[in-house]
Chain A
Amino acid sequence: MKENKDGEFGEFPGLAERLRRADFSGESRVKDLLKERLLAKAEKRGRRAAYLWLVPASALAAALFMMDLKHRPAPGPSQAASYALPSDGYAECGRRGLADYTEEGRF
């Protein structure tokens, strides 16, 4: 681009120059407003992009959390035994439930 100077239009030097220098941009009603609007839009988009890393990061964190829950090891046999319910349902503390309390005399 920009290689056509008046050699090509030697027959119309004044006209070529006039066509080249004519500037209508000063008549535009949108020039300044459009610039402001587009720059504001670009800035807003830039701000949004700065926080965009949060989306994959939080997705990754959620995925890791779910994997952790799924792969938590089952309790071993000894641990399982210590937490098992006693066969009579009251364990070895000697209490037999509400009946123990009511028999103590205070009731």
Chain B
Amino acid sequence: MSFEELYDKYFARIYNYLRYRLIARDAADDLAEAVFEKVLDKYGTFDPGRHGLEPWLFAIARNTLNDYFRRKKVRGWLTLGGREESLVSPESVEGAAQRSEENALLLAALARLPEQERDLIAMKFTLEMNNREIAAETGLGESNVGVILFRAMKKLREILGPESL
């Protein structure tokens, strides 16, 4: 698969994953750039026999995102002790609302979930990972992943309300 085909096929999924995690569009744009830069740099040495393409690609996306959170956290400690949730600014949610009400409602609901629940929801629905893969990736037990996902879905349904589903 050429890099162009890979980009066309996976940009949306990677971007949606980043958006579910970060909520803010600008941050997701920046991270998408960083992810695909890395993919291009490493694509020449990618060995399909050793890894599948999707796990390799999603690992790059997750590692880039985790690095970003680590940097944010350190910067937060150095300033006001900011938390990851501070990435979810009301302006970013409001801006999204102007573009698409439905998407914005979903983002606003996701923004109210704790970081871990949002992470699992993002892996489940944008990267389409199963519970075993999520467990392996996060270090959680497989049944624990199921419980956290169920709890997150329940919260989302409560936030969004039955009429919006």
Contacts and interface: CB of A to CB of B under 8 A. Distances in A.
B106 A19 contact: yes
A48 B33 CA distance: 23
A1 interface: yes
Contacts of A53: none
A71 interface: no
Which range contains the number of B residues in contact with the other chain? 35 or more
B77 interface: no
A1 B130 CA distance: 6
B16 A15 contact: no
B89 interface: no
A39 B103 contact: no
Contacts, number: 89
Nearest to A12: B153
A23 interface: yes
A42 B11 contact: no
B163 to A, nearest CB: 10
B125 A20 contact: yes
Interface of A: 1-4, 9, 11-12, 14-16, 18-20, 22-25, 27-31, 34-35, 38-39, 41-42
